[in-house]
């Protein structure tokens, strides 16, 4: 039976504590990290595919009002694409129509239109938006109002979608 004098020197320099032998080696750690990263990447691909396939369908066309229901310089409130989405239809002095979401892009107050004005005003923090293209003109909002696409079909104005 070999005694302590017969042991190689590395045994004393690098002693192995067998009670700690269940700790992970570097190779095992690298393998774990590689497999873990691969698993997370795979889950991300699956979630992205599910997200793409669950895109909401485009908003359906819906009649908003008759062409003569809004006087030049006036406005009319409506809901589109659902009853939970307030919108505002504007008619400028030349008779052209534009429609926008009525939800302010700052903190979601309802924007209002004063007859003959060129801007939509938000009373909460004095934000304002262009009534021509919905871009922010003043106050805290930095994003434009979503535009409701409007088509004239005979005597009717029909919403056909939303442009964010």
Q: How far apart are CA 72 and CA 75, in angstroms?
A: 8
Count Cα atoms within 13 angstroms, Cβ side, for 135.
3
Chain residues in the site for ligand FES (CB under 6 A): 104, 106-107, 109, 122, 124-125, 127, 139-141
Question: How far apart are CB 103 and ligand FES at their closest, in Å?
Answer: 9
Point out which residues pair with 103 in neighbouring strands.
110
Question: How far apart are CB 54 and ligand FES at their closest, in Å?
Answer: 30
Q: How far apart are CA 148 and CA 101, in angstroms?
A: 7
Backbone angles phi, psi at 151, to 5 degrees: -115, 145
Question: How far apart are CB 97 and ligand FES at their closest, in Å?
Answer: 23
Question: How far apart are CB 70 and ligand FES at their closest, in Å?
Answer: 24
Smaller CB separation from ligand FES, 88 or 104: 104
Smaller CB separation from ligand FES, 120 or 157: 120
Q: What is the DSSP letter of 161?
A: E
Smaller CB separation from ligand FES, 7 or 143: 143
Question: How far apart are CB 113 and ligand FES at their closest, in Å?
Answer: 14
Smaller CB separation from ligand FES, 81 or 127: 127
Q: How far apart are CA 143 and CA 147, in angstroms?
A: 12
Rg (the chain; Cα; Å): 33
Residue at shortest CB range from ligand FES? 127
Smaller CB separation from ligand FES, 62 or 109: 109
Q: How far apart are CA 81 and CA 41, in angstroms?
A: 36
């Amino acid at each position: 039976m070999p005694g302590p004098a017969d042991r190689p020197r590395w045994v004393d320099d690098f002693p192995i504590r067998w009670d700690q032998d269940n700790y992970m080696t570097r190779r095992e750690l690298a393998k774990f990290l590689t497999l873990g990263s691969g698993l997370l990447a795979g889950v991300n691909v699956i979630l992205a595919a599910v997200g793409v396939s669950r895109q909401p369908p485009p908003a359906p066309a819906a009649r908003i009002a008759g062409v003569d229901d809004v006087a030049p310089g006036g406005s009319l409130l409506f809901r589109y694409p659902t009853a939970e989405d307030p919108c505002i239809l504007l008619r400028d002095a030349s008779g052209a129509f534009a429609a926008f979401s009525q939800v302010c892009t700052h903190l979601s107050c309802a924007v209002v239109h004063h007859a003959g004005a060129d801007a939509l005003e938000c009373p909460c923090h004095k934000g304002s938006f262009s009534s021509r293209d919905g871009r922010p003109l003043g106050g805290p909002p930095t994003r434009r109002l979503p535009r409701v696409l409007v088509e004239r079909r005979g005597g009717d104005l029909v919403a056909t979608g939303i442009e964010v």
